[in-house]
Amino acid sequence: MSKRRRKQKKGEEGAPLWMVTYSDMVTLLLAFFVLLFSFSSIEKAKFTQAMASIRAAMGLMNRTTVMVPPIQRRILPIQRKFEKSMEEVIREVQNIPDIQDNISYEKTDEGVRIRISNPVLFDIGKAGLKPDIYPILDKIATVLKSNAFDVVVEGHTDNIPIDNDEYHSNWELSAARAVSVVEYFIKQGVNPRRFQAVGYGEYQPLADNSTEEGQQKNRRVEIFIPNDKWQGTSITTG
């Protein structure tokens, strides 16, 4: 009778010790797989680094292994290269009569911009390019082909209403002029997928439209490369 009571008391002490160890191991495995699942949505580099830390904590990493951070690649200043090329083009233009005062290049917080006034590009009320501007556009096309960024070509007019057989508004005229410049660049071999042609009509003037001088400044085409268009255009070297 006393032996039976002793056996019952032993059974009442709880689960065997191996069961406790087994439960702890299952809990750790569950936590491990939860971590794997959460890491699956982050960047590969971070995932690899985290896995290495887990392996080290579990004693699975070879003691002779040394974690070396990845070599930082040097990003070449593609934007600066473009700016320098355009500055050279503008310097060459300064030596061409009747053109030097009608083309400019500027850098702003928004991006870089080449501005060409209409007298050297188009006749009044027209959207066909003048042959005299071809050499200048050829130089700009060469610079554009040496890079891979996107380009926005903007057409602008003065506020004088237009209504002829070709164009019924300044919107149409400004858009047609932008398209003419884009089509010329495409003929010179620049990828058409990189362009946007935009017509702003009379609604983004540079000067006061109440004077003839101001109207002339407002009749223009601008080749604009926004700062965000440089993303993804840099090349790297080891």
Q: DSSP letter string over the chain?
A: -HHHHHHHHHHTT-S-HHHHHHHHHHHHHHHHHHHHHHHTTS-HHHHHHHHHHHHHHTT-S-TT----PPPPPEEP-HHHHHHHHHHHHHHHHTTSTTTGGGEEEEE-SSEEEEEEEGGGT--TT--SPPGGGHHHHHHHHHHHHTS---EEEEEE--S----SSS-SSHHHHHHHHHHHHHHHHHHTT--GGGEEEEE-TTSS-SS-TTSHHHHHHHSEEEEEEEGGGGTT---EE-
Percent residues over pLDDT 70 in the chain:
65
The pLDDT, as a whole number, for residue 100 is 67
pLDDT in the model for residue 183: 97
Q: What is the pLDDT of residue 152?
A: 95
Residue 74 has pLDDT above 50, yes or no: no
Q: What is the pLDDT of residues 107-152, one digit of tens each?
A: 888 888 889 988 889 998 999 999 988 988 998 898 888 888 889 9
Encode pLDDT of 158-177 as tens digits.
Answer: 999 998 889 999 999 999 99
